[in-house]
Amino acid sequence: MANIVAIVGRPNVGKSTLFNRLIGTRTAIMDDMSGVTRDRHYGYAEWTGKYFSVIDTGGYVHNSDDIFEEAINEQVELAIEEASVILFVVDVFAGLHPLDEEFASKLRRSKKPIYVVGNKADTTERSQMTGEFYALGLGDIYPVSSQNGSGTGELLDQVVTHFEDVGLEDPNEGIPRISIIGRPNVGKSSFVNVLLGKQRSIVTDIAGTTRDAVDARYNAFGKEFILTDTAGLRKKAKVHEDIEFYSVIRSVRALEASDVCIVMVDATQGLESQDMSIIGLADRNRKGIVLLVNKWDLIEKDTNTAKKFEEDIRSKMGALHYIPIIFISVLNKQRIFKAIEKAIEVFENKSKKVPTSELNDKLLRDIENFPPPSIKGKIVRIKYITQLPTHTVTFAFFCNLPQYIQTSYERFLENKIREYFGFDGVPINL
């Protein structure tokens, strides 16, 4: 049984601040506006030699006019179900709230160890304001300040007593990461939910439902990897609220941390300039890339539709011709697994090493038949090629006058490498 701690409570009591404090990084978005966290978030923590997962959840509400209420409450219940220990966060400064009482009676039914955490107890005076929370009937109150960390040590000392084993330091170490990126509302969260077979991310028709990058472990085709669902990336001019600005930063960070980016576009809108900047960002970061055209079920088709659509996309992508394109429908579960299979293949291409002898056998013949054009009467001779042991796919060409190699000739060499050795979906450096 994994060691899992779930952080729950009504909105705005400081759950995400506590989450960030426990895992030691700023992963969850924090804001004074209630309802910032919607999906459940996972992080890893360690205390006195014991490792455990921490789940941050959205604020539990009842009968509000927030259209996400039901979905958030569902996520909270899933987290409670998964957890071995529950941290019920209350706000000592605001005092006992009717929602706290309602939620407490819900928690009593879970039969899990529950710790009432009196957050925002930043001063001794505030720490003494915890008395009224004994009325919840859930035992001792642990005053803490998530902001400065006071009181968290005593709390964790108690929490880890419930763990039978030491746990894994970071279960995600070395596992390939695949992030799903794209503009808002193209179907990223629905895609992740279909793959996982459960509601991991909240899905609505409202653009911007996902605010944080949400990680999930996934197993397919005998491989294990981490899927990251990200918030939609939109034009700078359209990013209004702070929260959305942070969401965009998180998405870009998720892109930087991943090995392969699945870029999703909406078939009904085609490839727009915003999609191109997202693809360009992934290419500049030298990530493996797969392009998914979602909502393909909404397009009227004849025999050549896909071919014409693909040609149109390729003409817009120009030099990024190495990216595979797959037409999918998340709604009809059409070609979903083919998309993941392709992402795994791209990941493997990214770590592929071509033997030097093979490289020279194949390429030197072509170079001899089509040598680099001479410039100012100078003749360029390429003598030897090898793949460098770098994190990105890089080939070194040893020659006498590297400065005279033209971009068009570089493209010729790259195309030859792809023709012989594949590298579908992976940017190549020469």
Q: Are 428 and 283 in contact (CB under 8 A)?
A: no
Q: Give the residue among 156, 176, 194, 179 at the shortest CA–CA distance from 23.
A: 156
Neighbours of 343 (CB within 10 A): 27
Neighbours of 27 (CB within 10 A): 19
Neighbours of 112 (CB within 10 A): 14
* Sheet-wide strand order for 428-429: 382-387, 393-399, 428-429
Residue 253 tokens read as 């960070």
In this structure, the strands spanning 382-387 and 393-399 are antiparallel
Q: Treating both helix axes as pointing N-terminal to C-terminal, what angle do 152-159 and 15-23 enclose, rounded to 10 degrees?
A: 80
Q: Enter the pTM of the model.
A: 0.59
**DSSP letters for 23-68:** HTS--S---SSTT---S-EEEEEEETTEEEEEEE-PPP-SS-S-TT
Which ranges of 294-380 does DSSP label H, i.e. alpha helix? Answer: 305-317, 336-350, 356-369
Q: What is the pLDDT along the chain (430 residues), one digit of tens a residue?
A: 577 888 888 877 888 888 888 877 544 444 444 444 445 567 778 888 888 888 777 766 565 455 555 665 666 677 777 777 888 888 888 888 888 888 788 878 877 888 888 888 777 777 777 778 888 887 888 888 888 888 888 888 888 888 877 666 555 556 788 888 888 777 877 887 787 765 544 444 444 444 444 566 667 667 777 777 776 554 444 444 443 444 455 556 667 778 888 888 888 888 887 788 778 888 888 889 999 998 888 888 777 888 888 898 898 888 888 999 999 888 888 888 898 889 889 999 998 999 999 999 999 999 999 998 888 888 889 999 999 998 889 999 999 988 888 889 999 999 999 999 989 999 999 9
